[in-house]
Amino acid sequence: MAKDINDVILDLQRSGLPFAVATVVETTGSVSAKTASKAVIDHEGRVVAGWVGGGCAESGTCEKALECIRSGDTAMLDIDLDDEMLGAGMPCGGSMRVYVEPVLPRPCLWIMGHGRVAESLCILGDLLGLQVIVNDPGVDWDRYPGASRLIRDDLDYDQLTPAAGDYVVIATQHKGDHESMKKALASQAGYIALIASRKRSGLVMDYLREEGFSEADIARVMAPSGLDLGARTPEEIALCVVSEITLLRRGGSGMRMRDKLHEQRRLRAAGS
């Protein structure tokens, strides 16, 4: 039995693989697809469900879908089906606009440790749409209701398996931070932070060197971690770290918005 397009979307979301949904939002003239026609395009650029037109439109839509999956941005695609040379390759006699929306798996925030900083990280990470995984024998659902998963039986940190787009924050209060750091550095995690005192951070870095990690490996560790917000409380420390994660995730500048606006105006004035 053929699956409904919504079932295909749900299956892809469960798989954790990125994909895109293309929707025809406007048509003019002779086109095969109608307004609101949809297609689901997988991470390899194949239409796996639905339809937005035949050869006149499918190739261009799939190409744009791959671009959107790579960038994470949506796009509005104008397809000229009446231009044999510059359009879609076959003169079909019309045009259409297709809205392409990537659907990317939510990155994970791996929190190693427990305590008020870890609890606050869990709350903030969940609010920001991250899948929060907390790994520590002392955690429970009452204190970490926003977590997607709690790991309480991983003394050797074998279950610490972050993907390239994930974030790892080690807040173990010195308990096993050096061992969990070894596991984190052996992964492809895009962000690794250590919440510890300067003295303890130095000891962990020295341990990693003794274990054979290169300076390039050690440079991946954010220690001290977070943005300088003048934090004092555990909640503020968590905010500093999550702010740094957001900065990296969204490609921000870290400037105050007012100062950024003034700088943009200055540059425009200098270029005029």
Q: pLDDT digits over 160-213, tens only? A: 999 988 999 999 887 888 889 999 999 999 999 999 988 999 999 999 999 999
- Give the length of the chain: 272
Q: pLDDT digits over 144-156, tens only? A: 999 999 999 988 8
Q: Please measure the distance between the N-terminal and C-terminal CA atoms of the chain and give it in whole angstroms.
A: 63
Q: pLDDT digits over 234-253, tens only? A: 999 999 999 999 999 989 99
Q: Is residue 160 a contact partner of residue 169, using CB atoms and an 8 Å limit?
A: no
d(CA 111, CA 171): 7
Question: Structural domains in the chain?
Answer: 5-103 (no CATH), 108-250 (3.40.50.720)
Q: pLDDT digits over 196-205, tens only? A: 988 999 999 9
Choice between 125 and 72, residue whose per-residue pLDDT is larger: 125
The type of residue at 33 is A
Q: pLDDT digits over 20-70, tens only? A: 999 999 988 877 888 999 999 999 999 999 988 877 688 899 999 999 999
d(CA 242, CA 120): 10
Within 13 Å of residue 181, how many CA atoms lie on the same side as its CB? 32
The per-residue pLDDT of the chain, averaged, comes to 90
d(CA 40, CA 32): 17
What dihedral angle (degrees, nearest 10) is formed by the CA atoms of 111, 114, 116, 118? 0
Element spanning 239, H or E: helix 234-250
Does 88 have pLDDT greater than 50? no
